[in-house]
Structure 1
Amino acid sequence: MSTQKDGKTTQAPRAAKTRGKAAVAQGDHAQAHAEHGHDHGHAAHDGNGHDHAGHGEHGDACDEACGHDHHHAHPMPETGGIYLVSPSSAVQDPAAVELACQRLAAHGFQTRVDRGALLTHQRFAGTDKQRVAGLERAIRQKHPIVMATRGGYGLSRILPAIDWKAMADSGKRFVGFSDFTAFNLALLAQTGAVSYSGATAVADFGGAEPDELTPLLFGEVMRGELEILSFETRDADPVDARGILWGGNLAVLCSLLGTPYCPKTRGILFLEEVGEHPYRVERMLAQLAQAGVLDKQKAIVLGHFSNYRLAPHDAGFDMPEVVKWLRRTVKVPVVTGLPYGHVPTKATLPVGQKVGIATERGMAHLVIDEHTH
């Protein structure tokens, strides 16, 4: 497809963008990044962090049923800067974070790397206490956006130690993916504040061949420019609904059931997963259904479920069969094709923000700025 800007048209794979709108076409499932986030990182620095100016030069640089009033919805100022933290697994490649800083600068984001972002303790980016301290430094520094370097595992260990009110009151825009789902959902459950799920520093800005669209979608969401995200959907159930957008990684969401960090949101639930056989995905969806979560939603929007292997004895049991089972099981519209998951092209989505979702003629439209209408 093509990108239109200032009257000129240039080719852009799998997407067409117009003013305030982005349309992402559904192609073959891309291969997922390894585990829940790539292993990459950055050298540690003294002080709270290390600034990265242009091109890597160092310098200064729910709806009514959820129980919250959502007064923490973020205004959208100028782009500002990004503070990088590592609240989950240890990063591995300092050069990848350096490259991510350069590419973020090219997109208009000055970056600062937290001094603990490259710490290593077992598989984690430092001890639990050190990773909590990194988040605490993040809300005291000047940059308005706080981005995770990667996912992996580790946030669920530190949820009870995080001052959620302080996180929400800071006004920072927290962004991460995969394991960061635990942070997104806990912040929503504890405070009603909006955070973001999608881009991470290394997976989306530090790779050898970064995706063309993911950084653009991230930038538009951070600047408040993206009004509608449109994408191709196959056999979608008819839907025209509005509600609080919430969700993320399926396994992480299931791990929060029964805890004070799982939102009781009746809204629009979006999900993705990587490296899980379809029967495991179905089992987790069954858990959500039997826990009463799914039938309370106004719509279920599925992203990519990628990087799994089928066995001969599956005998035709695959992800499309899981989707058919889900539609038979719940009384909620199910929409597929969301450009979100462990794949190169992913949207950055506002967790906890009121949105709209509608389908028509093979397309789905996620209205990001629904709260302003």
Structure 2
Amino acid sequence: MKKHIYIYSPSSAVRDKASFKRGLARLKALGHEVEVDEAALASHQRFAGDDETRLAAIHRAAASGADVALISRGGYGLTRILPEINYKAVAKAISKGTQFVGLSDFTAFQSALLAKTGAVTWAGPALGEDFGVEGTPDDIMEACFDDLITGQGEGAGWQLPKNAINSVANSPNKTGATGHFSIKNAVLWGGNLSVLASLVGTPYLPAVKGGILFLEDVNEHPYRVERMLAQLLHAGVLAQQKAVVLGQFTNYKLVPHDKGFKLAAVVAWLQSRVKARVLTGLPYGHVATKVLLPVGAPIALAVEGRDAFLLWGHQH
């Protein structure tokens, strides 16, 4: 099904022009009409153009009438321009059918939009790192993206790590049989942990109660992950959630003096501090295989043994 996809750069400058071009070619090969924003390859310091340029790109994306507004890449840049974004214009575009998709730094935009308007966006791929990879893009990512643009996406499932079952079953608020539970009609939100932690205490962090918070990060040692989780914990954010779903935390190196302090230790610590269910292994983050997730949508979470499901029905 041919769709209109608008490519724009709201964060860091596109440095890998080859992956950008491969991404465009891939989307066109899939049969889509691809429109590239006039400032998609702009550069100012480390950003894709100065603040005004990137703000204008966001607003052009909102005015494009496209089926999908897809970021070229993440990086850093959105947090500093959050006060100037026209959230009503973006929410109006979404109500007319434009789906905003991205990850990483894009979490700032998604969170602010949810806090200001309640509009739903999608945590998912970026042009360069996902569609523009050398070789063939990940088939699960492509299938999930296709589900989004054809209106067929109804959920995402994954298998929990073996060691996760006992911790889920032994959580203090377990219900029903071991490793079986469900949470219904909870707002899904989250994204990149570093970005979310930076929004604590600002008007751009959504005040979601009874929600399902999903988190991922890259280049962050487990102690830094724990420190950011502690910030969300001490700020009262985690106490408001029914579940915390951890995606992929990648590209970090343990050191000898960690002495066993690794990501599993962070997960165990988190589970000991919150009443919310804590699940791991979600296929989402700075990895090739990533599902698309509707940020701000009411969803259901179900666990049956090692099988976990996030279910949202049609979000169109």
- Normalization by structure 1: what TM-score? 0.77
Which residue of 1 is the match for residue 286 of structure 2?
Answer: 342
Give the Cα separation in 2 of the matches to 1:292 and 1:195.
Answer: 24
Match of 2:100 among 162, 171, 174: 174
Query: Which segments of 5 or more consecutive residues in structure 2 lack a partner in the other structure?
Result: 169-178
Correspondence 1:129 to 2:73: no
Gap change, CA 1:280 and 1:367, over 3 Å in 2: same
Q: Secondary structure of 2:79's partner? A: helix
Which residue of 2 is the match for residue 259 of structure 1?
Answer: 202
Match of 2:131 among 190, 199, 205: 205
Mapping for residues 281-360 of structure 1, pairs under 5 Å = 281-360=225-304
Which residue of 2 is the match for residue 244 of structure 1?
Answer: 187
The letter of the residue matching 1:318 is K
Give the conservation status (yes or no) of the 8 Å contact 1:149–1:202.
Answer: yes
Give the conservation status (yes or no) of the 8 Å contact 2:55–2:84.
Answer: yes
Give the Cα separation in 2 of the matches to 1:288 and 1:344.
Answer: 27
Give a deviation string over 1:257-285, Cα, whole Å, max 9, x none: 11111100121100001111101000111
Give the Cα separation in 1 of the matches to 2:237 and 2:294.
Answer: 20
Give the conservation status (yes or no) of the 8 Å contact 1:230–1:364.
Answer: yes
How far off its partner does 1:79 sit?
5.7
How far off its partner does 1:101 sit?
1.4
Correspondence 1:192 to 2:115: no
Gap change, CA 1:371 and 1:240, over 3 Å in 2: farther
How far off its partner does 1:333 sit?
0.5
Give the Cα separation in 2 of the matches to 1:362 and 1:260.
Answer: 37
Q: Secondary structure of 1:285's partner? A: helix
How far off its partner does 1:351 sit?
0.3
How far off its partner does 1:295 sit?
1.4
Which residue of 2 is the match for residue 369 of structure 1?
Answer: 313
Give the Cα separation in 2 of the matches to 1:201 and 1:278.
Answer: 28
The letter of the residue matching 2:18 is A
The letter of the residue matching 1:288 is L
- Higher share in helix: 2
Which residue of 1 is the match for residue 34 of structure 2?
Answer: 111
Correspondence 1:231 to 2:231: no
Query: Which segments of 5 or more consecutive residues in structure 1 lack a partner in the other structure?
Result: 1-77
Give a deviation string over 1:236-257, Cα, whole Å, max 9, x none: 4254112011000000001111
Give the Cα separation in 2 of the matches to 1:371 and 1:195.
Answer: 10
Give the conservation status (yes or no) of the 8 Å contact 1:356–1:370.
Answer: no
The letter of the residue matching 1:257 is V
Deviates more, 1:92-101 or 1:174-183: 92-101
4+ aligned runs moved over 6 Å, structure 1: none
Superposition CA RMSD, Å: 1.5
Which residue of 1 is the match for residue 174 of structure 2?
Answer: none
Give a deviation string over 1:13-35, Cα, whole Å, max 9, x none: xxxxxxxxxxxxxxxxxxxxxxx
Give the conservation status (yes or no) of the 8 Å contact 1:355–1:370.
Answer: no
The letter of the residue matching 1:219 is D
Give the conservation status (yes or no) of the 8 Å contact 2:4–2:32.
Answer: yes
Deviates more, 1:206-215 or 1:149-158: 206-215
Give the conservation status (yes or no) of the 8 Å contact 1:79–1:223.
Answer: no
Give a deviation string over 1:57-84, Cα, whole Å, max 9, x none: xxxxxxxxxxxxxxxxxxxxx6621100
How far off its partner does 1:138 sit?
1.3
How far off its partner does 1:94 sit?
2.8
The letter of the residue matching 1:182 is A
Which residue of 2 is the match for residue 82 of structure 1?
Answer: 5
How far off its partner does 1:95 sit?
3.0
Q: Secondary structure of 1:321's partner? A: helix
How far off its partner does 1:226 sit?
2.1
How far off its partner does 1:96 sit?
2.1
Give the Cα separation in 1 of the matches to 2:266 and 2:260.
Answer: 11
How far off its partner does 1:232 sit?
0.5
- Give the percent of matched residue pairs that are identical in Structure 1 and Structure 2: 50
